[in-house]
Amino acid sequence: MKRVVIVGGGYAGVTLARALDEAFDVVLVEQKDRFYHNVGAMRAYADASFFERLLIPYDRLLRRGRVVQDEAVSAESGGVRGVAGSYEADVVVVASGSRHRMPFKSSFTAAVEFRREAGRLSAELAEAESVAVDGDGPVAVELAGEIRWRYPRKAVTIVARGERLLAGAGNPWLGERAAGMLREMGVSVVFGGGETGAALRIAGYGAAFSVPCLGAEGRVKVDGQFRVAGREGVFAIGDAADCGEPPLTFLARKQAFHLAGQLLGKTAGYRAAGRVAMAVPLGPERGVLQLPLPGLPVVGSWATARLKGRGLFVAENWKRMGFTAPPS
């Protein structure tokens, strides 16, 4: 049986590991002791009890293969070297993702330490009379919405450096509608940066991309079969890889399924998505959604709440990790 070693048990890595578990000898090397479903981070920031629903154990992910807690330091043809051990492989897949500030992604390997720091940040937010969130991307916009929903009496401001929210989405109307909705909710929307005098200022930006185990600054360039140049049998997917798609969970998972099919001899070349969906909830019942259809139409709260806002894909991710449901 062929041996595959996967570096990183985020959305891409767990999807691939599960898809190959029957046919390959799978080893998933992950530095953390729990999967962090960081899509729910903004709601949990505003309500710390929600963090527990985002930390999923790895012990039910695989039937045959194993998950090893270790930090990979190099990924070469033939295997992966970690801090605690070495893992020989016929196929190496790097899915080591990206980083962000706490608690948008976890900076800790132990969930117990993550809970402590995330809880401290949430408590700081709970105590502040007024909050300013810096940033104009989905993390900042969602966080401003979640804070306002959880604390209707708190003064909340979003401070965008530029002149638009969600400027990275294909349709500018998405950001305009989000700004309008935030204002209706009582959030002050400020463009062009500046001081607000808020008691607490939160940086809602700062994603960082690099792949140290491949010696790459930024995302590692891959070809249409996710191959890393110059390293036979080494592939990269998800946020770690530049295959022409933006860094998003559902694309990381799509790439993982495609690579699984490729390694099983069922699929050939990958075509990067042209139009991309973007759902930005502002609390469980409101928000904006850009659909991946011609013209990138934007719809409002009804669809956003049902697609994402109410559940934030929590139940789906517990199921993908081998559980029947999240803990109640």
Interacting residues with ligand FAD (CB under 6 A): 7-13, 29-32, 38-39, 41, 71-72, 95-98, 100, 104-105, 139, 207, 213, 238-240, 247-250, 252
Return the number of the residue (10 or 65) whose C-beta is nearest ligand FAD. 10
How many Å apart are CA 328 and CA 325, to the nearest integer? 8
- Write down the least CB distance from residue 313 to ligand FAD, Å: 8
- Write down the least CB distance from residue 59 to ligand FAD, Å: 15
Return the number of the residue (163 or 317) whose C-beta is nearest ligand FAD. 317
- Write down the least CB distance from residue 195 to ligand FAD, Å: 25
- Write down the least CB distance from residue 197 to ligand FAD, Å: 26
- Write down the least CB distance from residue 119 to ligand FAD, Å: 17
How many Å apart are CA 108 and CA 33, to the nearest integer? 9
How many Å apart are CA 35 and CA 37, to the nearest integer? 6
155 C-beta neighbours (distance < 10 Å), count: 18
Return the number of the residue (104 or 270) whose C-beta is nearest ligand FAD. 104
Residue 113 contacts residue 36 (beta carbons within 8 Å):
no
Burial 50-70 (b: 16+ CB within 10 A, else e): bbebbbbebeebbeebebbbb
Q: Which of 148, 115, 188, 161 is nearest to 43 (CA)?
A: 148
Position of minimal CB gap to ligand FAD? 10
Return the number of the residue (75 or 189) whose C-beta is nearest ligand FAD. 75
Contacts of 63 (CB under 8 A, 6+ apart): 21, 22
Return the number of the residue (153 or 246) whose C-beta is nearest ligand FAD. 246
Return the number of the residue (187 or 213) whose C-beta is nearest ligand FAD. 213
| 3-class secondary-structure state, position 210 | strand
- Write down the least CB distance from residue 173 to ligand FAD, Å: 19
Q: Which of 179, 198, 181 is nearest to 190 (CA)?
A: 179
Instruction: Dig out the tokens for 169 from the structure.
Output: 């989405």
